[in-house]
Amino acid sequence: MDGTSGLLVTVLFVGVIAYVFSLVFNHYKPLLHNLVGAGGGCKVPNGSFGWPLLGETLSFLKPHASNSVGSFLQDHCSRYGKVFKSHLFLTPTIVSCDQDLNYFILQNEDKLFQCSYPKPIHGILGDISMLVAVGDTHKRLRSAALALVSSTKSKPGFLADIENTVIKTIGSWKQNTQVLFCEEARRFTFTVIVKQVLGLSPDDPVTHRILKDFLTFMKGLISLPVYIPGTPYARAVKARIRISSTVKAIIEERIKRNKEAQPSTATSRCNDFLETLVSIDTLSEDEKVSFVLDSLLGGYETTSLLMSLIVYFLAQSPAAVELLKVEHEKIGSMKKEGEVLSWDDYRKMEFTQKVINEALRCGNVVKFVHRKALKDIKFRDFIIPCGWKVLPVFSAVHLDSSLHENALEFQPLRWDQNQDQTCKTFTPFGGGTRCCPGFELAKVEVAFFLHHLVQKYRWRLSEPGEQPLAYPYIEFQRGLSIEVEQC
């Protein structure tokens, strides 16, 4: 190697070392000003930062049963307490397993804390998704969501559509002795949400196209966030573009049809979700498209996961199944032949609500959410530094044995104790201004599904060892295979 080449190698090596050093220094610089003595003598909570840059992220995300807190939280809470510092998702972080701090965070959205999901999530969802949007954009989207949920609930055919889809889904099992329930639950929820949001039938070619892209989208949402052509993440970004294009075409067609309609026929326009959405002037076209995608995501994935968790827990709780059966047979006995379920029937499903709540508490569809501190925040005797990520962990509170007796056990009757479903100890749908606006619609779908399931089938797990795993998203790796038998 000649002198010039050697010099170039040396310069390159020094440059790389300097670059890495600058990354580490700049990344940890926010840690320095508040580690000790900040906030009038307050300190950040105890904890550890783990490896440079990567921190403790891999340990935090290590898969574990969703009805447990996992080894990472167990270890850190025992060593540092329910609130501790860490370094997660490439940033200094305060992790909260404390009910009071979690509630404080949720109730101070856009005041002291702000939604702050990792950038790769924005890459798939888009910056104007209601799940990641902040400030005025989020307020507009949430206001639209509440209006749309309200209009959907008041539609005469809404409940009938759900029940008809339930009957068709369960009816397809008659010739089967074994079904992959996760697949069936997703098929059911996708059929319902596409019909409600876009007015499409399950047999429509557009529905098949959206479903295909949506499955690609979901795989990328939970994949390694590396944009390299051919990776699940890259395919998901492209799938979202295709879904957005399809949805935009549907919206434009509806707008065109409305403009071409004669004034005398204006009152005969479709009174559906999409009609309400296109009439909202406060949302741009891109926001409306993103809103539809958010609705598909919430109505498809999270609702189907809740259904799967309920079927999983009930398979191991025959007493709860019998109580459900008694409740739904009583409701069914009061219906005339061919009469559909109503809102009054839904309100009578009291034990069903307890089952749903307990599955949400035990299964933890949403384990935690991402926030960041907008200023230095004093809480109790410690400080949360401005700019730090904050992770309120719902599952840790849901499974806290000091708050819930026999917390790791599925016991729907615990809800006989008049537990407040919106209290600090139970936050399955988040809280504050970011509480899920469509949670009631999801619970209706699940309740109606259970109404027919418990009256028509008995079931057991084909593989008793299978359990829901948190990645941190919930997954049954083998699809929750169940053996079914008609009653």
Q: Provide the token pair at 15.
A: 């440059």
Rounded Cα gap, residues 383 and 376, in angstroms: 7
Q: What b/e readout covers 62-80, taking b as 16+ CB neighbours within 10 angstroms? A: eebebbbbbebbeebbeeb
Rounded Cα gap, residues 220 and 232, in angstroms: 5
List the one residue out of 233, 168, 210, 385 whose CA is nearest residue 299: 210
Could you give the angle at the alpha carbon of 377 between the alpha carbons of 375 and 379, nearest 5°? 170
Rounded Cα gap, residues 313 and 355, in angstroms: 9
Chain-centroid distance, C-alpha 166: 22
Whether 382 and 42 have beta carbons less than 8 Å apart is answered as: yes
CB-CB neighbours of 302 under 10 Å: 21
CB-CB neighbours of 285 under 10 Å: 12
Amino acid at 386: C
Rounded Cα gap, residues 237 and 222, in angstroms: 12
Rg (CA), the chain: 25
Flag whether 182 is marked binding. Answer: no
Whether 372 and 114 have beta carbons less than 8 Å apart is answered as: yes
Could you give the angle at the alpha carbon of 82 between the alpha carbons of 76 and 87, nearest 5°? 50
Give the residue numbers of the binding site.
Answer: 436
Give the residue numbers of the binding site for heme.
Answer: 436
